[in-house]
């Protein structure tokens, strides 16, 4: 009895504390109320209503995005339009040997920006537009001494449509070009040279009277057979002539009619071109010391022979070779001065010290009339290497002896060209 009483006296406080901490009846009541509350809120429409509200909000947001996308696409490019861009920095200087030469020898920094746009409407045609600007001047635009750079950009920073034409196929092997701003050589069926020059005088295997051109209205056709044979013919004509009249293919307008026949295989190519020029077309020659005899009628015919060869593999001591020779006959000129000639040679070594690098050497005689008393000579040497896939640097030296057709008219120049492609 004594033990039982003691035990009960000890259990009584514990039971009281348990009653204070956990009230079973209240828990049961709470659980029941919660069950009733939940059952009153959750039914078959509960989640449907919430999802519908969320979907409505999302739909409104998607509709807004589609409107914005349509507005963006309305001012964007066509799906068939591509664009690539290029910026070139040129910094350099020249030295003229003649004391009488008044051209500046100061160091100059020039730039050019070019954007090429191509659009196809059928999958086989192409509308080409080139937008260009820059600020090159001084020796960088000098044709007399051969310093004119192939990278030249003008217009003092104003964007200008520099080239524009449309080309389309006719059948399987024919291509037709027509445009208000195009040059003959874009419409030739055979590439005359694979040498990539720094000075423009060495482009096209010698940019003289045979292949020299000028951007203006033009049209042409080329046939390229599957075996490598090609024939092309094209006409370029200036809309504004020296006497102020305008028109295309008139008796007064300057006109260049070029026809080329060539054959190309994977390692080599050979071609011959006949270019007939009328009414004084003679203001755009870079590989030249003159523009024909002053007594000429302004009409002349040029024959350009071109050929190139390249090794099967790069990285060897054997370079690719490009050669060119031009011969011109002037109508109405005296027999002693009715012809001129020019020649060119270009060598290229690729992947010599690192992948994608290039060593270029070119030299030749600019177009020289047969009655000239000097033998002008021009040259360039460069090494081009890539810093990455988009940036290349090209240190270059160039020059010539008797380059302007005068004895002692020598020039030596050096520049560094940096090209950014994007």
DSSP string computed for 303-325 = EEEEEEE--SSSSSSPPEEEEEE
Residues 90, 414: contact at Cβ < 8 Å?
no
Q: What is the pTM for the complete model shown?
A: 0.79
CA distance 192 to 344: 12
pLDDT of residue 3: 37
CA angle 293, 296, 299 (to 5 degrees): 120
**Which among 336, 212, 217, 346 is positioned nearest to 273, based on CA atoms?**
212
For residue 305, what are its two tokens?
A: 């022979």
pLDDT of residue 294: 62
* DSSP state string for 108-175: EEEEEEEEEEEE-SSSS-EEEEEEEEE---GGGG-TTTT--BTT---BTT--EEEEEEEEEEETTTEE
CA distance 254 to 249: 8
Could you read off the pLDDT of 37-70 as tens digits, one per residue? 444 444 545 444 555 566 566 666 656 655 555 5
- Name the 3-class secondary structure at 43: coil
Residues 105, 95: contact at Cβ < 8 Å?
yes
| Cα end-to-end span (Å), the chain | 104
**Which among 309, 312, 303 is positioned nearest to 322, based on CA atoms?**
309
pLDDT of residue 10: 40
pLDDT of residue 421: 97
Query: What is the DSSP code (8-state) at residue 362?
Result: E
pLDDT of residue 157: 83
Count other Cβ atoms within 10 Å, centred on residue 267: 11
Query: What is the DSSP code (8-state) at residue 344?
Result: E
Query: What is the DSSP code (8-state) at residue 337?
Result: G
**Which among 378, 321, 325, 380 is positioned nearest to 348, based on CA atoms?**
321
Q: What 3 state SS string does 64-112 have?
A: HHHHHHHHHHHCCCCCCEEEEEEEEEEEEEEEECCCCCCCCCCCEEEEE
Write out residues in the chain with pLDDT < 50, as ranges: 1-42, 44, 46-48, 71-72, 74, 241
- What is the gyration radius of the CA atoms in the chain, in angstroms? 38
Indicate the class that CATH gives domain 84-421.
mainly beta
Residue ranges per structural domain of the chain: 2-69, 84-421
pLDDT of residue 362: 98
Q: How far is CA 268 from CA 192, 233, 322, in A?
A: 11, 22, 10
pLDDT of residue 12: 42
CA distance 356 to 393: 12
Could you read off the pLDDT of 310-365 as tens digits, one per residue? 999 999 999 999 999 999 999 988 888 899 999 999 999 999 999 999 999 999 99
pLDDT of residue 56: 63
pLDDT of residue 15: 39
């Amino acid at each position: 009895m004594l033990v039982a009483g003691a035990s009960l006296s000890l259990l009584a406080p514990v039971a009281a504390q348990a009653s204070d901490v956990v009230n079973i009846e209240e828990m049961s009541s709470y659980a029941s109320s919660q069950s009733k509350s939940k059952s009153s809120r959750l039914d078959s429409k509960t989640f449907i209503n919430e999802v519908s509200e969320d979907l409505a909000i999302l739909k409104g947001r998607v509709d807004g995005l589609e409107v914005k996308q349509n507005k963006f696409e309305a001012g964007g490019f066509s799906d068939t339009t591509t664009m690539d861009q290029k910026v070139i920095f040129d910094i350099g200087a020249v030295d003229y040997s003649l004391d009488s030469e008044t051209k500046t020898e100061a160091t100059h920094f020039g730039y050019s920006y070019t954007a090429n746009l191509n659009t196809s409407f059928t999958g086989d045609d192409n509308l080409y537009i080139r937008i260009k600007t820059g600020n090159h001047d001084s020796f960088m635009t000098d044709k007399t001494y051969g310093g004119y750079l192939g990278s030249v950009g003008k217009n003092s920073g104003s964007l200008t449509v520099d080239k524009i034409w449309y080309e389309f196929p006719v059948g399987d092997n024919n291509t037709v070009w027509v445009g208000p701003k195009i040059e003959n050589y874009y419409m030739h069926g055979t590439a005359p040279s694979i040498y990539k020059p720094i000075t423009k005088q060495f482009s096209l295997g010698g940019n003289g009277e045979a292949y020299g051109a000028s951007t203006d209205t033009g049209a042409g056709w080329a046939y390229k057979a599957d075996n490598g044979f090609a024939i092309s013919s094209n006409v370029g004509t200036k809309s504004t002539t020296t006497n102020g009249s305008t028109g295309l293919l008139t008796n007064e307008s300057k006109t260049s009619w070029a026809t080329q026949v060539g054959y190309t295989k994977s390692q080599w190519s050979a071609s011959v071109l006949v270019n007939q020029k009328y009414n004084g077309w003679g203001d755009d020659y870079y590989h030249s010391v003159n523009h024909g005899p002053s007594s000429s009628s302004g009409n002349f015919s040029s024959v350009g022979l071109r050929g190139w060869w390249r090794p099967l593999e790069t990285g060897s001591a054997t370079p690719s070779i490009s050669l060119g020779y031009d011969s011109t006959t002037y109508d109405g000129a005296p027999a002693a001065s009715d012809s001129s000639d020019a020649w060119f040679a270009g060598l290229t070594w690729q992947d010599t010290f690192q992948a994608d690098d290039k060593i270029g050497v070119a030299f030749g005689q600019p177009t020289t009339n047969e009655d000239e008393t000097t033998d002008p000579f021009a040259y360039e040497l460069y090494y081009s290497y890539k810093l990455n896939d988009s940036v290349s640097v090209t240190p270059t030296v160039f020059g010539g002896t008797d380059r302007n057709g005068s004895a002692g008219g020598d020039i030596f120049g050096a520049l560094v060209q940096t090209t950014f492609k994007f």
